[in-house]
């Protein structure tokens, strides 16, 4: 019987697959695979079909909670899709898809290739939720053909906790960055105060309350700066920040909430520094994009962030969950000379070009698919 030429990709949003895995989809299709994306319906579901030429199937799921009994319907959806499609491999992104997709794939003898983008909120907070998530990983990830992990600390934790088999895990730099799309040549000079940018989901665990406090303290001290917030609000996450809170913040001097955009490179081109005061990351996309754009960054000394940023080389590090530490780092950035900031940005661009080019990520993914085909 001929080997299947179908590959499934699944995430907790169509937006993620469209924005972060488009190059993988295009490469798979160029290599002759039928690509089927399985994700909840959002504004990007039709774009997956129209722009990338793949197929899309709806996945009804909530991103909140981690009770497999409540999520039994999600597991069944995966099982039905995989039984009908019989893909050569199933690529999963985000926690629930990694777990439930792998369970369904294993029942049908389909190799799962999973991407752990960061151990996330559940691992930060501990307690019962953390215990459940660890159990879910322990009963699913050992059965994956390949598990991609985005930083060394998560890699060690997954292996040491026996959540993943050592021979099946591989370090991979996130989703990579398109170095042509994100290019320092796009920068446009501006007048007015120094501009900081936060680009990402509007979540408390990204350190946004500390960021607002730091900016307000800087401006109250007589040094004017602006903060732009760009990204989705009201996402399905326990840490989400409401539209009402964002609107209140945007009424404060120097703070602007831009909302989401499909052309984030245009926003990067108009700012002076990217800031990410997150509590923990996998391989933060905004820092990679900032580096590719030749922008210096201010971020926290936590897993994921410190894997990209070396203090004083391509950015500045501060303590997590500390608005005062963040404020000092932002002040240090403000008080640098233009040449010092440009040198940091150039270092960031060189680092990203050397280690985080998206072509490397696509090749590693294709190699995993070919390995799965040989093994099965």
Regarding whether 13 and 136 lie in a shared domain, the answer is yes
Q: Is the residue at 164 inside a domain? A: yes
Q: How far apart are CA 264 and CA 305, in angstroms?
A: 20
Regarding whether 257 and 172 lie in a shared domain, the answer is no
Nearest to 302 by CA among 288, 315, 290, 317: 317
Pairing of strands 169-171, 315-318: unpaired
Between 208 and 153, name the one with better pLDDT: 208
Among 115-119, 124-128, 156-160, whose mean pLDDT is lowest?
Answer: 124-128
Q: Is the residue at 329 inside a domain? A: yes
pLDDT at 159 exceeding the cut of 90: no
**Which pLDDT belongs to residue 375?**
82
Average pLDDT over residues 151-163: 83
Regarding whether 348 and 249 lie in a shared domain, the answer is yes
Q: Which helix (H) or strand (E) holds 288?
A: helix 285-292
Helix 45-52 to helix 22-30 angle (10° resolution) is 40
Regarding whether 144 and 87 lie in a shared domain, the answer is yes
Between 144 and 67, name the one with better pLDDT: 144
Q: Is the residue at 230 inside a domain? A: yes
**Which pLDDT belongs to residue 131?**
80
Regarding whether 350 and 213 lie in a shared domain, the answer is yes
**Which pLDDT belongs to residue 152?**
82
**Which pLDDT belongs to residue 165?**
87
Regarding whether 198 and 337 lie in a shared domain, the answer is yes
**Which pLDDT belongs to residue 150?**
82
For residue 123, what are the domain limits?
Answer: 6-176+357-375
Query: What is the CATH classification number for the domain harbouring 266?
Result: 3.40.50.2000
pLDDT at 192 exceeding the cut of 60: yes
Regarding whether 244 and 130 lie in a shared domain, the answer is no
Distance of CA 243 to the CA centre of its chain: 22
**Which pLDDT belongs to residue 1?**
43
**Residues whose CB is less than 8 angstroms from the CB of residue 18 and which lie 6 or more positions away in sequence, other chains included:** 44, 47, 48, 51, 52
Q: How far apart are CA 353 and CA 21, in angstroms?
A: 18
Regarding whether 206 and 117 lie in a shared domain, the answer is no
63-67, 129-133, 165-169, 329-333, range with greatest mean pLDDT: 329-333
Regarding whether 142 and 126 lie in a shared domain, the answer is yes
Hunting for tokens 């990351």 — which residue is that? Answer: 281
| % pLDDT > 70, the chain | 94
DSSP type of residue 26: H
DSSP type of residue 182: S
Q: How far apart are CA 37 and CA 59, in angstroms?
A: 10
For residue 160, the tally of other CB atoms under 10 A from its CB is 10
Regarding whether 269 and 258 lie in a shared domain, the answer is yes
How many structural domains does the chain have? 2
121 confidence band (pLDDT: 50, 70, 90): low
Q: What is the pLDDT of residues 199-213, one digit of tens each?
A: 999 999 999 999 999
Q: How far apart are CA 369 and CA 376, in angstroms?
A: 11
Q: What is the pLDDT of residues 265-282, one digit of tens each?
A: 999 999 999 999 999 888
Provide the token pair at 106. Answer: 């294993």
Average pLDDT over residues 50-74: 85
Regarding whether 189 and 133 lie in a shared domain, the answer is no
Regarding whether 107 and 47 lie in a shared domain, the answer is yes
Going 323 to 328 to 331 to 333, the CA torsion angle's sign is negative
Q: Is the residue at 1 inside a domain? A: no
- pTM for the structure as a whole: 0.85
**Which pLDDT belongs to residue 120?**
58
**Which pLDDT belongs to residue 125?**
58
Q: Is the residue at 163 inside a domain? A: yes
Give first-to-last CA distance, the chain, whole Å. 12
232 confidence band (pLDDT: 50, 70, 90): confident
Hunting for tokens 């960061």 — which residue is that? Answer: 118
């Amino acid at each position: 019987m001929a080997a299947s030429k179908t590959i499934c990709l699944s995430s907790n949003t169509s937006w993620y697959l469209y924005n972060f895995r488009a190059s993988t989809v295009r490469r798979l299709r160029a290599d002759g695979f039928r690509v089927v994306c399985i994700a909840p319906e959002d504004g990007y579901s039709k774009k997956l079909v129209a722009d990338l030429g793949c197929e899309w199937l709806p996945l009804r799921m909530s991103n909140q909670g981690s009770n497999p009994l409540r999520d039994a319907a999600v597991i069944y959806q995966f099982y039905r899709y995989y039984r009908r499609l019989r893909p050569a491999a199933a690529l999963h992104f985000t926690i629930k898809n990694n777990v439930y997709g792998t369970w369904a794939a294993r029942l049908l003898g389909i190799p799962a290739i999973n991407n752990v983008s960061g151990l996330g909120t559940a691992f930060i907070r501990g307690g019962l939720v953390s215990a459940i998530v660890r159990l879910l990983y322990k009963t699913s990830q050992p059965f994956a053909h390949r598990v991609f992990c985005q930083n060394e600390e998560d890699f060690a934790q997954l292996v040491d906790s026996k959540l993943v088999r050592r021979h099946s895990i591989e370090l991979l730099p996130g989703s990579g960055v398109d170095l042509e799309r994100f290019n320092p040549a796009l920068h446009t000079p501006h007048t007015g105060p120094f501009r900081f940018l936060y680009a990402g989901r509007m979540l408390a665990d990204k350190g946004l309350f500390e960021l607002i406090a730091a900016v307000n303290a800087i401006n109250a001290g007589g040094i004017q700066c602006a903060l732009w917030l760009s990204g989705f609000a009201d996402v399905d996450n326990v840490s989400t920040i409401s539209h009402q809170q964002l609107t209140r913040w945007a009424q404060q001097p120097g703070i602007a909430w831009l909302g989401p955009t499909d052309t984030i490179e245009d926003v990067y081109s108009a700012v002076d520094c990217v800031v990410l005061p997150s509590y923990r990351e996998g391989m933060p996309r905004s820092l990679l994009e900032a580096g590719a754009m030749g922008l210096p960054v201010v971020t926290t000394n936590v897993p994921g962030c410190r894997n990209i940023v070396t203090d004083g080389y391509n950015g500045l590090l501060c303590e997590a969950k500390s608005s005062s530490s963040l404020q000092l780092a932002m002040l240090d950035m403000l008080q640098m000379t233009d040449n010092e900031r440009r040198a940091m940005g150039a270092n960031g661009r060189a680092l990203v070009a050397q280690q985080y080019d998206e072509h490397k990520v696509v090749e590693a993914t294709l190699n995993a698919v070919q390995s799965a085909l040989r093994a099965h």
